[in-house]
Amino acid sequence: MDAASRTLQCVVVTPEKAVVDEPADFVALTLYDGELGVLPGRAPLIGRLGYGELRIRRGEQTQRYFIDGGFAQVRSNIVTVLTPRAQVAEEINPDVVVQALEATKTPAHSPKEQEEKLKAQERARGQLRVARHARG
């Protein structure tokens, strides 16, 4: 197995920019129904992302991001993540996220508003998990 086949290329794209485009030894994604770990040689797949953590490991270094849903594709040792938002874990302010979570606990006045509040709660809880993992 040559060096190129022992690494992945991880690409994370938001509507605004390419956030990540770098080699990785291992990538972990939060799918809507669980976590997926990707090593070189992984069979191709397309998955729907949930609100949660993206971990990119290269050697002894691990980068963590909050991913705001979207889709992931694994193909030919390339992991491509398309997401509305990718936030570096260390940039998440837990106090701000807790305030946002508290704001979602007020009563909803319509089914649509209730659905939006539930999504906002999932998003905030995902951000808190990522922030806590990043801080150890």
pLDDT tens across 55-64, in order? 999 999 999 9
Q: How confident is the model at residue 27 (pLDDT cuts 50, 70, 90)?
A: very high
**What is the per-residue pLDDT for 13?**
98
User: Rounded mean pLDDT of the chain?
Assistant: 94
Q: How far is CA 60 from CA 24, 25, 52, 92, in A?
A: 11, 10, 22, 23
76-105 as b/e: b if 16+ CB within 10 A: ebebbbbbebbbebeebeeeebeeebeebe
pLDDT tens across 118-133, in order? 999 999 999 999 999 8
Q: What is the pTM of this model?
A: 0.88
Among 4-13, 24-33, 74-83, the range scoring the smallest mean pLDDT is 4-13
Statement: residue 28 has pLDDT above 70? yes
The mean pLDDT of 60-78, rounded to a whole number, is 97
Statement: residue 4 has pLDDT above 90? no
**Would you state the structure tokens that stand for residue 72, as one six-digit string?**
């992931």
